[in-house]
Amino acid sequence: MMAATLNQEIIVGVDLGGTKILAGIFTPQLHFLQSSKLSTKSERGFDTVVQRIARCVLDALDEADLTPKQVSALGIGAPGAVNPNKGEVIFAPNLGWENAPLQKELEKILGIPVFVENDCNVSALGIYEVELKRKHQNILGIFLGTGIGGGLIIDGKLFSGFNRTAGEIGHMVIDATGPRCGCGSSGCFEALASRTAIFRELALRVQEGEKTLLTEFLQPGELITHLKSGDLRKALRRGDKLTERVIKKAAEYTGIAVANLANILGPEVVVLGGGVINALESEMMSTIVETAQEYAMPGVLKGVQIIASSLGDQAGINGAAVLGHQRTKA
């Protein structure tokens, strides 16, 4: 009986990032079975990336002794503005894509119904369904990685607004006289607290003569900006003062962003995730929560949870599976 169900209704969830592709295989009840990882190689262009997504999915299915014929739906989260109805990625600077027909091309190769959404929306959906088990109505997901994005669950549903762009919290200006952002504005949240912003600040400080253990982690010829979030954790645990200061500042800006967003949206749960939080949860969360409480208006955070997601880097594939599951039933 179980096998029969499995045969028809396997769900695939894909997390498409600027640097890596993660594919997860899930039962119809959305229990995780298996996953597979591949680098994105976005510099080789759209067609190659689509081929690599398909290969990653087939690898994961094969690892679980399954075939595409047993799959009922594939959900995929892509980094950028997405039109979920057309299954297109409208604009994804990290991938160099514009109006990319991801759904159509992926369906052509795999023969599976494909559903596309923004990656942060998908992660918020995964956290809402799998981690929080739909117990709350209004959830705000904040994801700190190479960039910063958000996902909104409003009245129990993914909310993406008029142009399907809602949740673009990374380009909320919070320090108008602050550092330039890649988007052209100044002092965006992303320019103050993303992995990119943290390493740029560290590189600037080192350039100005400050000392840090991080330089010990570098290969010959490597720049500080090439290090990973995990290296920051290592430096912090060895008591590196510069890293401590820079991370504290990023956590404070994140706290201000949480307060801004809580004031605006009135969420019941604020969940933080993404590479930076996954690596530095214990180092950043208390500063984030304290700063948010200091900056939020009276009453706004009463009874509100501000937590780090326990799904870590699995939030994306879980959410993509939820998306596939929901959309194939819709």
Looking at the Cβ atoms of 55 and 171, the one nearer to a second copy is 171
| H/E element, 306 | strand 305-308
* Cβ closest to a second copy, residue 57 vs residue 251: 251
Instruction: Take residue 143 and report the two structure tokens written for it.
Output: 């994801």
Residue-wise DSSP of 52-89:
HHHHHHHHHHHHTT--GGGEEEEEEEESSEEETTTTEE
CB of 249 to a second copy, least distance (A): 11
> Considering only CA atoms, which of 83, 122, 120 is closest in space to residue 100?
83
| Residue number with CB closer to a second copy (201 or 281) | 201
Output 51 or 185, the one with its CB closest to a second copy: 185
**Least gap, CB of 165 to a second copy (angstroms):** 5
* Residues contacting residue 22 through CB under 8 Å, at least 6 positions apart: 14, 15, 35, 36, 37, 56, 313, 316, 317
Using the minimum distance from each CB to a second copy, give the nearer residue, 33 or 183: 183
DSSP tag of 218: P
Q: How far apart are CA 248 and CA 201, in angstroms?
A: 12
Phi, psi of 187 (to 5 degrees): 70, 25
Joined together, the tokens standing for residue 306 give 């501000």
User: Cβ distance 125 to 141 under 8 Å?
Assistant: no
Of 55 and 245, the one with the shorter C-beta distance to a second copy is 245
Q: Please state, in angstroms and rounded to a whole number, the distance separating the CA atoms of residues 266 and 220.
A: 48
11 CB burial (10 A radius; 0-12, 13-18, 19+): buried
Instruction: Using CB under 8 A, list all residues that contact a second copy.
Output: 81, 90-91, 136-138, 150, 154-155, 159-169, 171-178, 183-185, 187, 253, 256, 259-261, 263-268, 294-304
